[in-house]
Amino acid sequence: MRQVLLLNATYEPLTTLPLRRAICLVLREKAEIVHHDTTGACLRSATMSIEVPSVIRLRRYVRIPFRSRVPLTRAALMRRDNFRCAYCGSRAETIDHVVPRSRGGKHIWENCVASCMPCNHRKADRLLEELGWTLRVTPVVPRGAHWRLIGAIHDGDPLWAPYVAEPAA
């Protein structure tokens, strides 16, 4: 599914959207196209033609509430782990608790990882030490104002780079 980068009126990155939603925002004049797709693709109807956008910007500023802690959702966890299994590195389909909940593990960022089905079933409700397994990456809480765009620098369209690059500290 083609994704489009959504910017606030101030050119601050907000999130990525499916192409269909981005086109709806442009047609309803709630957003404008900043960059077109590099392939030059067009969407056509009986009465109009529109170039496929890569980056769109809202016409009105939207205030984003400050959150001290990023909420743990399946989508955010998969994005944090780049849809890769924390145990073997293959494509992840499920979420696994490193310390199983049946053994007192909590449902928090530091205890949850993306996992493929075979690894999740093999691990079951056991600890990593019992299996002799190690995690490829230590699970952490996503940080920063643009946590929804984790991985967008590497996965997204090259036109997104100026908007999603980490500011120099």
Interval 35-86: pLDDT, tens: 998 888 899 999 999 999 999 999 999 988 776 677 888 988 988 888 899 9
Q: How far apart are CA 100 and CA 164, in angstroms?
A: 35
pLDDT class of 169 with cuts at 50, 70, 90: very low
CATH number at residue 126: 1.10.30.50
pLDDT above 80: residue 168: no
Query: Which residues span the domain enclosing 159?
Result: 3-66+147-164
Residue 169 in domain: no
Confidence (pTM): 0.63
Same domain, yes or no, for 45 and 81? Answer: no
Same domain, yes or no, for 39 and 55? Answer: yes
Condensed to tens digits (0 to 9), the pLDDT of residues 83-128 reads 899 999 999 999 999 999 999 999 999 999 999 999 999 999 999 9
Residue 128: strand, helix, or coil:
helix
Residue 33 in domain: yes
Per DSSP bridges, beta strands 3-7 and 53-58 are: parallel
Residue 137 in domain: no
Q: For the chain, what is the domain count?
A: 2
Same domain, yes or no, for 78 and 106? Answer: yes
Same domain, yes or no, for 116 and 155? Answer: no
Residue 115 in domain: yes
Condensed to tens digits (0 to 9), the pLDDT of residues 2-20 reads 889 999 999 988 888 889 9
